Amino acid sequence: MLKKLCIICGRNKYIFLVIILGVITWSLTMFRSGVGKSYGLGFWGANGHDGIWHIALSESLARGSFNNPVFAGEVIKNYHLGFDILLATVHRLTGISIDSLYFQILPVIFSFLIGILTYKLILLWRGSKSESIWATFFVYFGSSFGFIITYLRDKTITGESMFWSSQSVSTLVNPPFALSLIFILAGLISVLKNKKLLAILCFGVLIQIKAYAGILVLGALLISGNFAVFLGTLLVSVLIFLPFNKEAVSIFTWQPFWYLETMMSYSDRLDWERFYSAMTTYKMGHMWLKGVLAYGIAFVIFIIGNMGLRFFGFYFFLKKHKHDSLLIFILTIILMAVIIPMFFVQKGTPWNTIQFFYYYLFFFSIFAGIVTSWSTTLVKIIIIIFAIFGTWTTLQHYLPPMPQAKITTEELEALRFLERQTQGIVFTYPFDSNKAKEALGNPPRPIYAYDSTAYVSAYTKKDVFLEDEVNLNIMGFDWQTRKTGALLFISNLDIEKGKNFLKDNQIRYLYLVKNASSLFGEYLKLGADDLGLEKIFENKEAIIYEYAKDFGGN
């Protein structure tokens, strides 16, 4: 199949050019992160959190463990493991490091496959090379109107997610989303070729790659009347979902129009405070007519603002089309991808359900591309210029010579040392948001002062007592109780309580970053001798203790 796809590129220089530009542009958000420099390892943009989480999880899976690497002693729950299992498997088969696969190799493969499969799907469906090329162009380079607002306000070109949704150029920063697009496209191509079994396999695994995609595709298959593929997909989804989610609970909660209200009120979004005040006043005052009008306007701003020039895609529906099952499938996904986040948010991290909307933008990119192919040369030039500015709103954050976050050379030395030690649970200082704020004005920030991340687990290949509070929130773990216990241990003066904490939680190593300590001039209130700790490593930035060398077996 890959050979056939390469032949397609070779025969059409325009699609080849679009795909090459798309692959390069998308990969720029990933390439530079995780590469050793004189200052250590740098991480640009969301890679400083999300990328490190996937490395930690994949390293854990590569060890044959389904334990939560950032919440030692608990198994992973309420999380889709498909991408991370793939990453761990490729690592085990090839010996290529997980961070190299994540940041440098898979981005090229994923971005190429998304482009070529989009082209193939539209060519099969519509029979037009021009429509297929422009659909692929929009998939790669579609962007919001955010940069226009920021330019009018303060003459800057930024604001990718001003209206909440990330845009095309950020696709690889969310690799489960990128992988889900590959399987959706492959599944749809299989449906068009009447290869039902292959379609079932492609759609069925989505629930473990990106649960949002699995939900949307199941709904779309049912509504479009493809019952055989729907039933097969449902069966595969259940079979691969239940074994990993035996204790799964609902993570969604009813909160209508949360995105509309926060889009207007948040300073890092549209920040139209007067409009937000009017909306909420009408709602609380039961002024229903004004409320409906205000929320309706906010909804239009949300849709059009996020879509950018993708709104050209609406013109597609003004033309008469044969309502085939594929069109109904896509329309169902589009409707569900808007309706669900408009009424439901995710517990703990309400903004996560915006990821449903990513699929709306993806499929509307296809319609916008089809319509663009019908347009004049002048319109096409305007669209290309718009795409350049829209893409720059995101790329500028990934191109500066210095990253937003780093693991310093000294810390990396400590992490590598701990990686070579026998397996055991690692205790490290809980994330301190105050220290993060203090470091905000002096980038690149040390990773411990950037965000609550999984970096100790990722780069020691060990389970950590408590890390990455963000993902623990998403998965529904009670990390707050554990954090309270960790802080009490650090400041504790009772020797027996201190030892019991280490024993009860089966902690073998203490990885302590000196500047991350909440104590002035101290790392722990109790001394190492009091707790039975042996110092096994120390440099300028970190100190590592081992508790009871014979603890925990291998």
Percent residues over pLDDT 90 in the chain: 85
Quick check: helix, strand or coil at residue 275? helix
* pLDDT one-digit tens code per residue, 468-496: 999 999 888 999 999 999 999 999 999 99
Residue 405 host element (H or E): strand 405-408
Residue 34 tokens read as 């995780």
Residues 302, 111, 133, CA angle at the centre, nearest 5°? Answer: 75
Query: Residue 554 pLDDT more than 50?
Result: no
- The mean pLDDT of 48-66, rounded to a whole number, is 96
Q: How far apart are CA 489 and CA 483, in angstroms?
A: 10
The whole-chain average pLDDT of the chain stands at 93
- 241 burial level (CB within 10 Å; 0-12, 13-18, 19+): middle
Task: Answer with the residue of higher pLDDT: 249 or 54.
Answer: 54
105-109, 251-255, 277-281, 293-297: lowest mean pLDDT where?
Answer: 251-255
Q: To which H or E segment does residue 537 belong?
A: strand 533-538
d(CA 352, CA 185): 23
Instruction: Please give the share of the chain, as a percent, with pLDDT higher than 70.
Output: 96
pLDDT tens across 202-251, in order? Answer: 999 999 999 999 999 999 999 999 999 999 999 999 999 887 776 666 67
Q: Per-residue pLDDT tens for 157-193?
A: 999 999 999 999 999 999 999 999 999 999 999 999 9
Of the candidates 39, 48, 37, 56, the one whose C-alpha atom is nearest the C-alpha of residue 460 is: 56
Distances (CA, A) of 334 to 49, 224, 339, 359, 366: 29, 13, 9, 7, 12
Q: Give CA torsion, residues 25, 27, 32, 33, to 10 deg.
A: 130
Q: How confident is the model at residue 1 (pLDDT cuts 50, 70, 90)?
A: low
- Show Cβ contacts of residue 303 under 8 Å, excluding neighbours closer than 6 positions: 311, 338
Which H/E stretch holds residue 295?
helix 288-307
pTM of the model: 0.94
Residues 114-137 have a mean pLDDT of 97
- Could you give the count of Cα atoms lying within 13 Å of 252 in the half-sphere of its Cβ? 14
Whether cis (ω within 30° of 0) applies to the bond prior to 176 is no
DSSP state of 155: S
CA distances in angstroms from 462 to 38, 382, 456, 480, 481, listed in the order given = 26, 51, 8, 21, 22
Q: Helical H runs in 396-494?
A: 409-419, 433-438, 455-460, 469-475, 479-491
> Which residue in 59, 61, 35 sits closest to 47, CA to CA?
35
In order of their start, the domains of the chain are 2-30+77-395 (no CATH), 408-547 (3.40.50)
d(CA 114, CA 172): 11
Express each pLDDT in 359-399 by its tens digit: 999 999 999 999 999 999 999 999 999 999 999 999 999 99
